[in-house]
Amino acid sequence: MALSSLSLMFLLAFFFMSFFANSGLARDFSIVGYTPEDLTSGDKIIDLFESWISKHGKIYESIEEKWLRFEIFKDNLFHIDETNKKVVNYWLGLNEFSDLSHEEFKNKYLGLKEESEVVTISGYHDVPQNSEESLLKALANQPLSVAIEASGRDFQFYSGGVFDGHCGTQLDHGVAAVGYGSTNGLDYIIVKNSWGSKWGEKGYIRMKRNTGKPAGLCGINKMASYPTKKK
């Protein structure tokens, strides 16, 4: 018998709670894509860059382009490493976006897009704004379309954990909230992004909830909705 969308949503939440229960994953350097040794010399960073190119199948049109991308990669690498030294509940890592400047990344990957029409959908029901209680109540029944501010640099390189980093509430990116849970005393909302399975936790991010702010982390409580079907 096929699982209902509600059953699938709770199975997904259970998967995240079980798989990421061990916060020690944050110290596994295979997850973040580099080791401290890789940062000890320019030659080692070049070797890391070449390995990263091979892993992600990158092709550059010229030596000049490759050099530019290396300089951006190096700057991003140091940002990732410095951030990982400071944060506790989440971590950043090298990914397929590591040769993009943050401005390039924002211009290419952020956006709030109109939903495409589906025959069986008659409209959308808006969840009351700035109410985490209302959002969780709606989320218990179905996934939600939500908007967040994802323009912070840490979003570009998020690799795992419960994200509680800095972000505002100027909504600039549409995502889907698909579940919620708690790990090691941290409450979170499970969010499915649109940047592919190599980003974050296989395409998902866990965003901290119970922040004490009506809009929620990154404004996630400000603009949520779910589709209503024709009878």
Dihedral of the alpha carbons of 84, 88, 90, 91, in degrees to the nearest 10: 10
CA angle 89, 220, 97 (to 5 degrees): 60
In whole numbers, what is the pLDDT of the chain averaged over residues? 86
For the purposes of burial, counting CB atoms within 10 Å of the CB of 203, is it exposed (0-12), middle (13-18) or buried (19 or more)? middle
Which residues have CB under 8 Å from 222's CB, separation 6+? 129, 130, 147, 169, 171, 215, 216
For the beta carbon of residue 127, count every other beta carbon within 10 angstroms: 22
- Residue 164 identity (one-letter amino acid): D
Task: Describe the chain by its helix, strand, coil percentages, rounded to 5.
Answer: 40, 20, 40
- The conformation of residue 98, written as its DSSP 8-state character, comes to T
Query: pLDDT band for position 120 (50/70/90)?
Result: low
The DSSP element (H or E) to which 179 belongs, if any, is strand 173-183
* Sign of the dihedral defined by the CA atoms of residues 77, 80, 84, 89, in that order: negative
Cα 149 vs. chain centroid, distance in angstroms?
Answer: 11
Which residues sit opposite 229 in a β-bridge?
121
**2 vs 136, higher pLDDT:** 136
Whether residue 169 is predicted with pLDDT greater than 60 in this model: the reply is yes
Dihedral of the alpha carbons of 65, 68, 70, 71, in degrees to the nearest 10: 180
- The whole-number pLDDT of residue 122 equals 63
Q: pTM for this structure?
A: 0.83
- Residue 106, both tokens: 């924002």
The DSSP element (H or E) to which 147 belongs, if any, is strand 144-148
Whether residue 54 is predicted with pLDDT greater than 70 in this model: the reply is yes
Whether residue 17 is predicted with pLDDT greater than 80 in this model: the reply is no
